[in-house]
Amino acid sequence: MEKVIRVVLAGPRGKMGTEALQLIERTEHFELVSAVDYKYGGGTVQQFYPGYQGEAAVYETLEECIENEKFDVLVDLTTPEIGKKHAFLSLKNGIRPVIGTTGFTNDELAELKELASQNGLGCIIAPNFAIGAILMMKFSAMAAKYFKDIEIIELHHDQKLDAPSGTALKTVQMIEEAREYKRQGHPSEVETEKGARGAEMNGMRVHSVRLPGLVAHQQVLFGGDGQLLTVRHDSMNRASFMSGVKVSIEEVMKLSELIYGLENIMD
Ligand X SMILES: O=C(O)C1=N[C@H](C(=O)O)C[C@H](O)C1
Ligand Y SMILES: NC(=O)C1=CN([C@@H]2O[C@H](COP(=O)(O)OP(=O)(O)OC[C@H]3O[C@@H](n4cnc5c(N)ncnc54)[C@H](O)[C@@H]3O)[C@@H](O)[C@H]2O)C=CC1
Active site residues: 156, 160
Asked whether 80 and 55 are in contact (CB, 8 A), the reply is no
Q: Please list every residue from 17 through 56 that binds ligand Y, using CB under 6 A.
A: 17, 36-38
Site membership for ligand Y, residue 208 (CB under 6 A): no
Is residue 11 part of an annotated ligand binding site?
yes
Site membership for ligand Y, residue 102 (CB under 6 A): yes
Sheet holding 216-224, edge to edge: 199-201, 204-210, 149-156, 216-224, 227-235
What's 40's DSSP letter? T
Q: What does each C-alpha distance from 178 to 137, 202, 264 come to in angstroms? A: 12, 12, 16
> Of 12, 17, 122, 166, which lies in the binding site for ligand X, with binding defined by CB under 6 A?
166
> Of 33, 126, 152, 169, which lies in the binding site for ligand Y, with binding defined by CB under 6 A?
126
Is residue 101 part of an annotated ligand binding site?
yes
Site membership for ligand X, residue 27 (CB under 6 A): no
Q: What does each C-alpha distance from 107 to 46, 99, 103, 126 come to in angstroms? A: 39, 17, 11, 17
Is residue 122 part of an annotated ligand binding site?
no
Site membership for ligand Y, residue 82 (CB under 6 A): yes
Segment lying near ligand X (by CB under 6 A), choices 64-72, 164-172, 195-203, 225-233: 164-172
Cβ-based nearer residue to ligand X, 78 or 128: 128
Question: Which chain residues interact with ligand X by CB under 6 A?
Answer: 102, 127-128, 156, 160, 165-167, 216
